[in-house]
Amino acid sequence: MHTPRTTLCWLRRDLRLGDHAALAHAQGAGRVLAAFVFDPTLLTGLAPDDARVALIWHSLLEIRQRLRALGSDLAILYGDPAAAIPRLAARIRAHTVFAARDYEPAARARDERVAALLAADGRALELVKDQVVFDTGEVLTREGKPYTVFTPYARAWRARLSPADTGSLAVRLAPDAFLPWRDDEMVSLATLGFADNPIGRAHAGEAAAAQRLAAFEAKIADYHAARDYPAQGGTSQLSAALRFGTVSIRALARTALAHDGAGAQAWLNELVWRDFYQQLLWHFPQVEAGSFKPAFRTLRWPGEEAHFEAWKTGQTGYPLIDAAMRELLQTGWMHNRLRMVVASFLTKDLLIDWRRGEAHFARHLLDFDLAANNGGWQWAASTGCDAQPWFRIFNPVTQSQKFDPDGAYIRRWVPELAALDARAVHAPWQAKALPDGFLLGRDYPAPIVDHAAQRERALALYGKQP
Ligand SMILES: Cc1cc2nc3c(=O)[nH]c(=O)nc-3n(C[C@H](O)[C@H](O)[C@H](O)COP(=O)(O)OP(=O)(O)OC[C@H]3O[C@@H](n4cnc5c(N)ncnc54)[C@H](O)[C@@H]3O)c2cc1C
């Protein structure tokens, strides 16, 4: 009797069952078993209640439940993928393991190891594009080189785009499409050494991502006007869903393309920024370790440790900075405008190495993504390829007045300032009058540095570089 060929689909940053490149390709090659591997090297050092682990866990449970309804399962494994994946592939006699291509240096090294071990056993690892609209060599300059400036990259990206690039990669959810299976290894969050986290749980799963996308679609027309005002909630907050692939980038691009108008255009542009940073990391993996611009690689940052602590905990005395840093600690998210402002403040007001800020974000952001985070930090620190010029330095007070004009965002995250009026709340130390009983330096810190003086120091520091 003919036995159908089996394939293994290794889920990583694509935790969903719909519009799924690796699953669609795997189904074209046989009956599929889906698997996920918790890699101890990635879990080491995370807080025991890390929201991202909970997000992954609950997303996996949703997938598992749906696959069990089809008589199959999601194999949830723990260990070095270089051992776990070839072992499982051998066990089910999968000729090919399918997975979505990952652009991070460590993931690339891991995938090369897995591919070599599979090959030694007569099997193949096939990596397919899923995480971005265009990857690796798909958008290059006329000379065949990677773009390092966003605007021409975005132009070329849009010129290349056809409906096929954003079409849904359909997955057949039928019992005969999946391998009959019952996972017997039963990893649990507790056995992984992690506790549940309500924030991770709230962001988990394909259904939640679809709801978030539908809610955003209703206001996409206003995105261009609302996107810079943190109190307005005008952005999609889909970054964690995209990071873990509970929604596909193609679904987001289709949504943007289905709407006319400046809002949808501006949003599509952000999706292009995401592709831009992914391809940058692929072509220039050295950005993970240091400045893209060689001139800034030797820069010595004179900032103080106490200032770094104040920045991390939201105690700098600059209300907008403190509000944003506290929101990050409490929710794992921060608005893009504020990511730019706090990153500029760390590097150009506190004169602290951007890599320390990058690492703090990496620890706390639910949507932490090496390519976007590194790109954002190098942009703000002016060390990146298409960065903010080094002599452009955000003024944290004018940014606050401009983008949180009535102080609503500040008051939400810095309750000590709730009674300050819209003029005083941006810079309490400059206020002519403060509410009765409010004492600066006791109830809220006085500014830890003077922006004007630090600006001059930053200009001197950056200006010294060759
Ligand atoms: C210093 C710094 C660090 C950052 N770190 C990260 C990070 O670790 N992970 C991350 O996903 N984004 C990062 N960003 C980019 C951006 O701030 C977030 O993607 C955005 O705030 C997420 O909110 P949203 O989903 O509501 O975005 P929306 O405005 O709704 O945008 C839609 C999607 O486009 C993508 N996107 C938007 N802006 C950018 C951008 N500038 N670069 C790359 N992709 C973008 C995101 O995937 C986002 O979900 C960083 C930006 C800066 C300045």
Note the pLDDT tens digit of each residue in 58-96. Answer: 999 999 999 999 999 999 999 999 999 999 999 999 999
Superfamily name with CATH number, domain 6-130: HUPs (3.40.50.620)
Ligand 1: distance of its center to the CA of 239 in Å?
Answer: 6
Query: Is 181 a known active-site residue?
Result: no
Ligand 1: distance of its center to the CA of 132 in Å?
Answer: 14
Question: Is 187 annotated to bind ligand?
Answer: no
Query: Is 269 a known active-site residue?
Result: no
- What's the confidence (pLDDT) of residue 125? 98
Query: Is 301 a known active-site residue?
Result: yes
Q: What percent of the chain has pLDDT over 90?
A: 96
Q: Does the beta carbon of 382 lie inside 6 Å of ligand 1?
A: no
Does pLDDT of 372 surpass 80?
A: yes
Taking CA atoms only, the protein residue closest to ligand 1 atom 49 is: 239
Strand-by-strand arrangement of the 31-38 sheet: 74-78, 31-38, 6-11, 94-100, 124-128
Does pLDDT of 33 surpass 60?
A: yes
Q: For residue 30, which amino acid is it? A: G
Ligand 1: distance of its center to the CA of 271 in Å?
Answer: 9
Q: Does the beta carbon of 365 lie inside 6 Å of ligand 1?
A: yes
Active-site position among 57, 354, 390, 413: 354
Q: Does the beta carbon of 380 lie inside 6 Å of ligand 1?
A: yes
Query: Is 273 a known active-site residue?
Result: yes
Query: Is 270 a known active-site residue?
Result: yes
Q: Does the beta carbon of 372 lie inside 6 Å of ligand 1?
A: yes
Tell me the pLDDT band of 2, cut-offs 50, 70 and 90: low
Region 375-394 average pLDDT? 94
Ligand 1: distance of its center to the CA of 415 in Å?
Answer: 26
Does pLDDT of 281 surpass 90?
A: yes
Q: Does the beta carbon of 236 lie inside 6 Å of ligand 1?
A: yes
Does pLDDT of 1 surpass 60?
A: no
φ, ψ for residue 11, nearest 5 deg: -80, 140
Region 10-24 average pLDDT? 98
User: What is the rounded distance in angstroms from the CA atom of residue 151 to the CA atom of residue 300?
Assistant: 31
DSSP, residue by residue, 360-384: HHHHH-TT--HHHHHHHHHHHTT-S
Q: Does the beta carbon of 217 lie inside 6 Å of ligand 1?
A: no
Question: Is 309 annotated to bind ligand?
Answer: no
Question: Is 367 annotated to bind ligand?
Answer: yes
Does pLDDT of 292 surpass 70?
A: yes
Region 345-360 average pLDDT? 98
Ligand 1: distance of its center to the CA of 374 in Å?
Answer: 11
DSSP structural state of residue 178: B
Mean pLDDT for the chain? 96
Region 212-241 average pLDDT? 98
Question: What are residue 32's DSSP bridge partners?
Answer: 7, 178
Ligand 1: distance of its center to the CA of 238 in Å?
Answer: 9
Question: Is 368 annotated to bind ligand?
Answer: yes
Tell me the pLDDT band of 466, cut-offs 50, 70 and 90: low
Question: Is 173 annotated to bind ligand?
Answer: no
Q: Does the beta carbon of 341 lie inside 6 Å of ligand 1?
A: no
Q: Is 179 left (phi over 0), alpha (psi -120 to 50) or beta?
A: beta
CA distances (Å), origin 44, targets 108, 138, 194, 360, 368: 19, 35, 11, 16, 16
Q: Give the right CATH number for 132-167+205-283 from 3.40.50.2000, 1.10.3720.10, 1.25.40.80, 1.10.10.410.
A: 1.25.40.80
Does pLDDT of 249 surpass 50?
A: yes
Q: Does the beta carbon of 277 lie inside 6 Å of ligand 1?
A: yes
Sign of the Cα torsion 333, 336, 339, 345 reads negative
Q: Give the right CATH number for 294-463 from 3.40.50.720, 1.10.1530.10, 1.20.120.420, 1.10.579.10.
A: 1.10.579.10
Domains of the chain, residue spans: 6-130, 132-167+205-283, 294-463
Tell me the pLDDT band of 186, cut-offs 50, 70 and 90: confident
Question: What are residue 327's DSSP bridge partners?
Answer: none
- What's the confidence (pLDDT) of residue 465? 72
- What's the confidence (pLDDT) of residue 464? 84
